[in-house]
Amino acid sequence: MKNEIVVLITGCSTGIGRGLCKILFDKGYTVVATARNVEDLKDLPASLKLLLDVTQKESINAAINEVISRFNKIDILVNNAGSSIRGALEEITVKSAQSMFDVNVFGIINMIQVVVPEMRKKHSGKIINIGSISGKFVQPINGAYCASKYAVEALSDALRLELNSYNIQVTVIEPGPIKTNFFKTLVNNSSDLMSNPNSCYFRFYESDARNRKKQKLANPKEAAKAISDIIFKKRLNSRYKVAVPFAYSMITHFPDSLKEYLMKKRHL
């Protein structure tokens, strides 16, 4: 049976976004799947598939206008599109960090500025921002990415306060490490930097590579299922951890000195 709730999801090419589309569509929701390359969505079940680049206002406006013309509303926005780079802050390029922030941070703001006015017309809506457990504690050579996800936490908290009187709920999802193309893309984006044996941070890069090989990654389908259950709660909490290893979850509660001690020991 078709559900009239319209859900727009960014970054549906792979991983959580793709899994979430499948789950919600199978449940009968009106799912709008979007990606920078719409060809990546050809085998994905969805009510509507659109090209949408969260860093380009023209692309966003065109996509949202199409959704509104088809369905007359957007009930739920899932800001899932994300990017990452890795490397010591001394060595990463500012350009690469800016490109990542354009997606992870300013991309969310871009989407909010176009979608919120539509939600306000209906005096209801939900905004689900996909952050990361890395927005709760920092790891060496991952500082730029962590900073972008800390920003998602702050944006979500501010937005929740700003939209409260309009009955628009906001939450941030904090996934742990997920088995998706995300890490493959990360390595591709940072391989030259992190494979340089002459870098004074090379021991960090070697340690990081070892740790990622040993790291247990959660199934993206399970993460998407957990997020789908959260989305349709009547009242959303401010944040939710999803597929987070117990040790990572515990670290978020430790004092700063203990967090730093553990991170130093991990990368010896």
3-state secondary structure of 171: strand
100 vs 77: CA distance, rounded Å: 20
77 vs 17: CA distance, rounded Å: 12
Other CB atoms closer than 10 Å to residue 146's CB: what's the count?
18
Q: Who contacts 214 (Cβ-Cβ below 8 Å, separation ≥6)? A: none
131 vs 78: CA distance, rounded Å: 11
| Tokens at 223, concatenated | 């993460």
Q: What are phi and psi of 66, to 5 degrees?
A: -65, -40
215 vs 209: CA distance, rounded Å: 10
90 vs 94: CA distance, rounded Å: 10
Q: Who contacts 234 (Cβ-Cβ below 8 Å, separation ≥6)? A: none
Residue the block writes with tokens 């995300």: 182
Q: What are phi and psi of 164, to 5 degrees?
A: -55, -45
Based on the number of CB atoms within 10 Å of its own CB, is 212 exposed (0-12), middle (13-18) or buried (19 or more)? middle
Q: Identify the active-site residue in 145, 201, 205, 240.
A: 145
Residue 145 annotated as catalytic: yes
| Residues annotated catalytic, as ranges | 145
